[in-house]
Amino acid sequence: MTVKAKKMRLLALLASLCLLLAGCGELPPAALQQSTPEGQTPLSAEPEAGAAREQTATLYFRYGDSALLRQETRELTVMPNESREKALVTALLDGPHEGGGSALFPDGTQVLSTQAQDGVIYVTFNEALYDRYPDESLSGQAREQAILRRRLAMAALCATLTESGEYRAVQVLVRAESNVGSSMRLRESYFLADSELPCDALTREETYLPTLAASARLALAAWQTRDWESLSQWIAARGASAADIAPASLAKAQTLLAAQAGEGCVSPDGQSAVVCVDLTLRGDDGAESACAAWPLRMIREGGVWKIPAAALLEMMQAANK
């Protein structure tokens, strides 16, 4: 073989190697490198060797069919050579242990790895993350619910992994075997957008978190639209009878024309709170009235804030006070 032929063969091998490396997709910055580049913070979220260990964790799941997440405290078993972060994501994939609710992720979704650097946790899923949910439809108004379901899944992932305060953002990566040459970052098409652009790292979205104001807002919205089925899921089961939350009982409420809830104040034990609510109501006689700073009592139940039946029924008759 001539010298020229040897050079050509070497160039061909180098070109093939470059293509192979490009096919690996986009990896977390320095996440899979053997050493930390100069000036960068060493990686965390590394698995610990040794025996399995139990850790208390706060997980987030969708609350019923609402647009809100709920909290679930659970004892996690972190296996040897497994990071706590991967154990958290695995628990999310397994689904809630209490309160029911739909699955956050499509069937077959797996977490492949977690790596962290400079306050960002990188989570790599398999390609099943892009699959459809078996019980969903993408036609008409059902499409909006499908989009909400995906946003809640990512909000739950981000809230769970940032709960400790160690990380400020979550970058979702997908190892797509069908398109290995593209970026591994989660694509906008995951949210059913007509775009294949990669998504930025996710941050906590308080819109979906089970805060006092969010729970009160959704309960008031259900009252205003007279959607008694939706309202019933915000009524605390503790101390409530079936008659209290029956649609026939709730339908006796005054007409709610407008409402606004404050941030609220939580009791020292964290189990009850009071939210000030401004109401505009129409009474039985048709007259409108304003009720400012109504003190609405709420209690924690099932990982969300709910309204005791007695407190709700009293507020719903405020126009007659």
Average pLDDT of the chain to the nearest whole number: 84
pTM for the full predicted model = 0.81
Quote the pLDDT of residue 59: 96
Q: What band does 10 get if pLDDT is binned at 50, 70 and 90?
A: low
Quote the pLDDT of residue 269: 95
Quote the pLDDT of residue 152: 97
pLDDT tens-digit profile of 58-96?
A: 999 999 989 999 999 999 999 888 899 999 999 999 999
Quote the pLDDT of residue 28: 59
pLDDT tens-digit profile of 105-120?
A: 999 999 999 999 999 9
Quote the pLDDT of residue 37: 38
Q: Is 284 exposed, middle or buried (0-12, 13-18, 19+ CB in 10 A)?
A: exposed
The dihedral over CA atoms of 3, 9, 13, 18, expressed in degrees to the nearest 10, equals 80
- Asked if residue 159 has pLDDT above 90, the reply is yes
Helix/strand/coil (H, E, C) string of the chain?
CCHHHHHHHHHHHHHHHHHHHHCCCCCCCCCCCCCCCCCCCCCECCCECCCCEEEEEEEEEECCCCCCEEEEEEEEEECCCECHHHHHHHHHHHCCCCCCCCCCCCCCCCEEEEEEECCEEEEEEEHHHHCCCCCCCCCCCHHHHHHHHHHHHHHHHHHHHHCCCCCCEEEEEEECHHHCCCCCECEHHHHCCCCCCECCCECCCHHHCCCHHHHHHHHHHHHHCCCHHHHHCCECCCCCCCCCCCHHHHCCCCEEEEEEECCCEECCCCCEEEEEEEEEEECCCCCEEEEEEEEEEEEEECCEEEECHHHHHHHHCHHHC
pLDDT tens-digit profile of 207-237?
A: 999 999 999 999 999 999 999 999 999 999 8
Separation of first and last alpha carbons in the chain: 101
When pLDDT is averaged across residues 22-42 and rounded to a whole number, the result is 43
* Residue 81 token pair: 């050579």
